Structure 1
Amino acid sequence: MYTEQIHRIKEKVNQLKSLDQDLEIFGADTHEYILNPTVSIEDVTQFEKENKVTLPKDYLAFITEVGNGGMGPFYGLQTLTEASVNEEELMITGKSTTSLLQKPFPHSSLWNPLAELESLDAKIENASGDDELEEQLYEKRLALISGEEHDYGRLNLCDFGCGITIFLVVAGNQKGFMWTDDRINDGGLYPSIELENINSLTFLDWYELWLDNSISEFI
């Protein structure tokens, strides 16, 4: 199904490597245009079984035919296993054992409770000096944006920098599309637009657009 696009991507990967030997493209000095070895269909099947999820077909084609992470947009791509880590559980317990992949990602358009955040920020500023109230307000602010449901059904594939994560939705009505998590900067969650695209992008289209944009810097 994706044979032609995978072939184009492989050719463009080699072209970009050849053009940017000095690693001038943003993030290239991190991944150095090195793709990780591919993963086997058997390993993917086992991953899907364990996590009760079916990966988008184009992403599956990429990790089994091109590379399982490494060279990619911005600071590069995580491996399938790295991208599936439950970050909240890892931060709290030091390990990640609970998969959130099978639960549907709850959003279909921009989600950002900015008005509520700004209201809380004003209350925090007014509460200056009242440590107990400030702490309560900070906890309320954190709870507003850090609900577990925002991490449902997503593979955290790419570090954009500044705490921003670009992820692939693998469950829910946005399955197959690339999204951005900029909650840390009060930017909310939204379909990825970092490559100056207007429409939502599937994984392979997103990756190929990055290749095209990068190659155009040299041609």
Structure 2
Amino acid sequence: MSDEWWVGVRRRVEAAGAGPGGSEVFGASGHKWVVEEPLTQDELAEPEAQIGVGLPEEYRAFLLYVGAGGAGPAYGLFPVRRVQGRWRWEGDGADLADLSRLAEPFPDQGPSPKLLADLLAQRPEEEDFDDIEDFDDAIEAWDERSEAVMFASERTVGAIAISHLGCAQREWLIVSGRHRGTIWSDSRVDDVDLTPLLDDDGMPVKFARWYTDWLEKAESTAP
């Protein structure tokens, strides 16, 4: 994809936001169709030096020719900004990413299916308790155990959270490892494990496809 193609993407986003149906697009109330200014080559080199790894090529081109963040899927694409001399991504859940470990490869898989099944099987049921306070204590202890497994920080090394879908559901861009450049869905809040987004052919969705799929749907809503 050429630099001109990405510049065209920015124009399309601006046109969709200015359309009469722009406010009807899901998430527009959050990003308000604002697209932050693109980064310069020198600016982009700074966060890459800070995290110790180059960003995936499609996302890198987006930052250079479309914008540093803003209007995008769901409630928007988390912007990358320099704050007090350090670069970071900002958004609801962006701080879940460990920026000091982005050069490490994103793991191939999370907890084993058996471990997840065991966790769910151990979830307390209210009818098993005579006292509601005992049940509340048991479910709180179970929540702590399951969160320690599902949300262990090492599960998302090499990845950045880039979008919030609402209700603590998010999407991640993989920066390092064999899944580099792909987008993963995160519905762990609903006991659904991290999973890669796949296209109609069962192939992993990369950043450009993820963003332009959203843009095409937005354009059809806001002609």
- For the aligned pair, the TM-score class normalised by the smaller chain equals 0.7 to 0.9
Any idea what the Cα deviations from partners look like across 1:36-62, whole Å, max 9, x if unmatched?
A: 111121122121112111101111111
Aligned to 2:39: 39
User: For residues 15 and 102 of structure 2, what CA distance do their matches in structure 1 show?
Assistant: 34
Aligned to 1:215: 219
RMSD: 3.2
The amino acid that maps onto 1:203 is: F
Any idea what the Cα deviations from partners look like across 1:165-192, whole Å, max 9, x if unmatched?
A: 1111001111001111111111110113
**For 1:159, what is the secondary structure of its paired residue?**
strand
More moved, 208-217 vs 102-111: 102-111
Among all aligned residue pairs of Structure 1 and Structure 2, give the percentage whose two residues are the same amino acid. 27
Cα deviation for residue 122 of structure 1 reads 3.8
User: What residue ranges of structure 1 are gaps of 5+ in the alignment?
Assistant: 90-95
The amino acid that maps onto 2:76 is: G
Matches within 5 A, 1:119-158: 119-122=121-124, 126=128, 129=134, 136-158=141-163
**For 1:121, what is the secondary structure of its paired residue?**
coil
Any idea what the Cα deviations from partners look like across 1:20-74, whole Å, max 9, x if unmatched?
A: 4551101112211110111121122121112111101111111111110011111
TM-score by length of structure 2 reads 0.79
User: For residues 82 and 197 of structure 1, what CA distance do their matches in structure 2 show?
Assistant: 31
**Is the Cα contact below 8 Å between 2:30 and 2:76 reproduced in 1?**
yes
Aligned to 2:95: 87
User: What residue ranges of structure 2 are gaps of 5+ in the alignment?
Assistant: 81-87
Matches within 5 A, 1:21-40: 22-40=22-40
User: For residues 124 and 100 of structure 1, what CA distance do their matches in structure 2 show?
Assistant: 40
Closer/same/farther in 2, CA of residues 88 and 22 from structure 1, 3 Å limit: closer
Aligned to 1:74: 74
Closer/same/farther in 2, CA of residues 142 and 126 from structure 1, 3 Å limit: farther
